[in-house]
């Protein structure tokens, strides 16, 4: 797609989007339906994605990243999401884990974990959510107890993407159970460590190829040098990481919505009722106009937040607005596209029903719509 008229997009960003778009349409799109139907893992694409530099786009060049801008990374994820939202989700989970190491780790930790993650040799994940307390630090039950040069971690995490194939997870655990959010610490846990066990993948409604798991930690001994930052700094790390990842979710929504809008536009040009294309009907035109309007508003919010990120400025509120608007927008656009297709849209022969299912999770993970509204309101009242 041509992004050259969008705010902040450079020639290098466009060139990256073109390259990723060609790959996504040639390699990801043809397999998306089958991977969804069989619930096969989209990690089958990791090697090819890594060859394009995609697995390390969020990582600084000194640690093996390809040196792309935040805007270039956004466009690349949009192109991937146009072809396969599950693949974009898998990449986003990998970015969560590697972002945490890059943000909170020291140079020795970054050198130990990031280059092989950037190359695609190692897959990463992010273990914050729990079965009973969600992502609330107050209700977190996973514990990390200091034992000499080690911590012993015990607990259970839920809906952890990539866990079965990840080499490492960034795990959040209470080191001071009485301190609330200030008692949470972050640890890089090698998934080959004894005591780590992973369930079979969850049976998801959408993004079925982006597998999520329950992960149990039973007396898992983690070296002291695998703690990221000081004790008690883990929740602050998680919030910084989620600021970044919410833009990845917005990118997924933008790409998925564009795919649905493109499908609807093509359908109404070709589908005839009473001898006339559906595109001649004002009601259909107005539906397409509303879809496009909401999509463009999400683009504006997302690019604004991305520009602030690129400048190193605080973008917490802008990231929350982008994620909220885009994730709710894509629900509207995919549903409208299915409606335009009528009964055919409700069949599995076309991708519309998959688009609707894939879009639904975007209002839930990496902070629900309700959480985003709380973050936005907090900024208004500050």
The structural domains of the chain, ordered by start, are 11-118 (1.10.540.10), 124-232 (2.40.110.10), 236-381 (1.20.140.10)
The residue from 276, 311, 366, 370 that is catalytic is 366
Q: Render each residue's pLDDT in the chain as its tens digit; 382 residues.
A: 999 999 999 999 999 999 999 999 999 999 999 999 999 999 999 999 999 999 999 999 999 999 999 999 999 999 999 999 999 999 999 999 999 999 999 999 999 999 999 999 999 999 999 998 877 887 899 999 999 999 999 999 999 999 999 999 999 999 999 999 999 999 999 999 999 999 999 999 999 999 999 999 999 999 999 999 999 999 999 999 999 999 999 999 999 999 999 999 999 999 999 999 999 999 999 999 999 999 999 999 999 999 999 999 999 999 999 999 999 999 999 999 999 999 999 999 999 999 999 999 999 999 999 999 999 999 999 8
Report whether 369 contacts 324 (CB < 8 A): yes
* Beta-strand pair 168-174/124-127: parallel
Q: What's the length of the chain?
A: 382
Give CA–CA dist 20/45, Å, rounded: 13
Give CA–CA dist 280/250, Å, rounded: 32
Give CA–CA dist 166/188, Å, rounded: 12
| pTM > 0.85: yes or no | yes
Based on the residue annotation, tell me whether 366 is a catalytic residue of this protein.
yes
């Amino acid at each position: 797609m041509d992004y050259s008229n969008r705010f902040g997009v450079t020639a290098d960003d466009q060139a990256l989007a073109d390259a990723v778009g060609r790959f996504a349409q040639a390699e990801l799109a043809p397999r998306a339906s089958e991977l969804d139907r069989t619930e096969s893992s989209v990690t089958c694409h990791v090697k090819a994605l890594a060859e394009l530099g995609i697995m390390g786009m969020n990582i600084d060049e000194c640690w093996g990243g390809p040196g792309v801008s935040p805007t270039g990374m956004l466009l690349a994820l949009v192109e991937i999401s146009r072809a396969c939202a599950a693949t974009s989700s898998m990449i986003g989970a990998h970015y969560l884990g590697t972002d945490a190491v890059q943000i909170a780790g020291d140079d020795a930790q970054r050198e130990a974990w990031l280059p092989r993650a950037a190359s695609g040799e190692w897959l990463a994940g992010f273990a914050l959510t729990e079965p009973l307390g969600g992502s609330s630090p107050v209700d977190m039950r996973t514990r990390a107890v200091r034992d000499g040069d080690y911590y012993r971690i015990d607990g259970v995490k839920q809906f952890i993407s990539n866990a079965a194939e990840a080499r490492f997870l960034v795990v959040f655990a209470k080191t001071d159970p009485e301190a609330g959010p200030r008692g949470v610490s972050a640890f890089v846990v090698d998934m080959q460590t004894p005591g780590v066990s992973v369930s079979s993948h969850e049976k998801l409604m959408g993004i079925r190829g982006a597998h999520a798991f329950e992960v149990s930690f039973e007396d898992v001994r983690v070296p002291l040098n695998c703690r990221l930052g000081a004790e008690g700094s883990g929740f602050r790390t998680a919030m910084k990481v989620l600021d970044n990842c919410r833009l990845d979710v917005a990118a997924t929504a933008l790409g998925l919505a564009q795919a649905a809008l493109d499908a609807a536009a093509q359908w109404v040009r070709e589908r005839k009722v009473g001898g006339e294309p559906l595109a001649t009907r004002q009601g259909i035109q107005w539906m397409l106009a509303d879809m496009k309007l909401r999509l463009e508003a999400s683009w504006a919010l997302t690019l604004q937040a991305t520009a602030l990120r690129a400048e190193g400025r605080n973008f917490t509120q802008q990231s929350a607005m982008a994620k909220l608007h885009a994730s709710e927008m894509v629900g509207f656009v995919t549903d409208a596209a299915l409606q335009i297709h009528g009964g055919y849209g409700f069949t599995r022969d076309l991708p519309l029903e998959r688009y609707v299912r894939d879009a639904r999770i975007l209002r839930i993970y990496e902070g629900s719509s309700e959480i985003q509204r709380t973050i936005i309101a907090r900024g208004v009242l500050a």
